[in-house]
Amino acid sequence: MNHILVTGGNGQLASCLKDASKYLEGYKFIFTDLEELDITKLEDVDSFFKSNDIIYCINCAAYTAVDKAESEKEIAKKINELGPRNLADACNKYKAKLIQISTDFVFAGDQSNLYTEEHSTHPVNFYGVSKLNGEKAVASLEAHIIIRTAWLYSEYGHNFLKTMLRLGKEKEILSVVCDQIGSPTYAGDLAMTIVKMITTQFDEYGVYHYSNEGIASWYDFAKAIFDETKTNVKLCPINSKAYPTPAQRPAFSVMDKSKIKNALNIEIPYWRDSLRECLIKL
């Protein structure tokens, strides 16, 4: 049996991969979280690969608390950098392919053009630094695919969508930043793209960008959520300076998806269409 290891098994992307895995015949998925596999311990990773005949590893495990990463740098570094390095070492040893999930936060966000895979990286917070170092650790493996995604949400886990739905019931007035621009991404769409990579035995290795089509600010995203759910709340756009956080965010991190669309011959849904799909599932 061909085994596909998915780390970070309780997260939202891994949960969407569980749903998508029904479209994959001839493969057995193994979903692990910290209790089953600590990717920061090389011996544990090596033993797990040796015992389970892994042919693919999809690394969804990540430290994603952007603000806390500024004060918990060692923890973020272990999970986002050391973990991927250990997985890459095991994949190299046991001849497995590695799909590493990364982020738009590897970019500075100081330009107005779409970011391609060839653009220079320059993170403005430690979370971005740790994820970029994770990319570099994985790049030493020949059979690797790095997928940078952005503003991930789903019907699972904790995310902006679910926070807005909760606050929309609790508050009459909400303020949301309007000067950070990106692309909301439904994790279910990304999961199906990863499944297609596996079913087609995709071997054009390297870095790819994936997010839903279109651009939005966090204010736009929140407005769409409340419009779609007919939530009666007064939404106020504010500048990032009015809502200071420990970690700086990229002002503009919209990515060009041409490379992955051409390589896989896929169309990527518009972000509001995918938002409606997710809300139906919720």
- How confident is the model at residue 23, as a pLDDT? 81
| pLDDT band, very low/low/confident/very high, at 24 (cuts 50, 70, 90) | confident
Reported as a single tens digit per residue, the pLDDT across 145-176 is 999 999 999 999 999 999 999 999 999 999 99
Which residue among the candidates 127, 153, 186, 208 is catalytic per the annotation? 127
Q: Is residue 129 part of a domain?
A: yes
Q: How many independent structural domains does the chain possess?
A: 1
Q: Is residue 235 part of a domain?
A: no
Q: Where are the beta strands (DSSP E) in 222-278?
A: 234-238
Q: Is residue 224 part of a domain?
A: no
Q: Is residue 57 part of a domain?
A: yes
Q: Is residue 232 part of a domain?
A: no
| Cα 180 versus chain centre, distance | 18
| 127 assigned to active site | yes
Residue 258 sits in a domain whose CATH number is: 3.40.50.720
* Spatial separation of the C-alpha atoms in residues 6 and 99, rounded to whole Å: 10
- Domain coverage including residue 18: 2-158+184-212+253-271
The angle that helices 218-228 and 271-281 make with each other, rounded to 10 degrees, is 50
Compute, in degrees rounded to 10, the torsion defined by CA atoms 163, 190, 268, 277.
-50
Q: Is residue 102 part of a domain?
A: yes
Reported as a single tens digit per residue, the pLDDT across 60-99 is 999 999 999 999 999 999 999 999 999 999 999 999 999 9
Q: Is residue 113 part of a domain?
A: yes
| pLDDT band, very low/low/confident/very high, at 116 (cuts 50, 70, 90) | very high
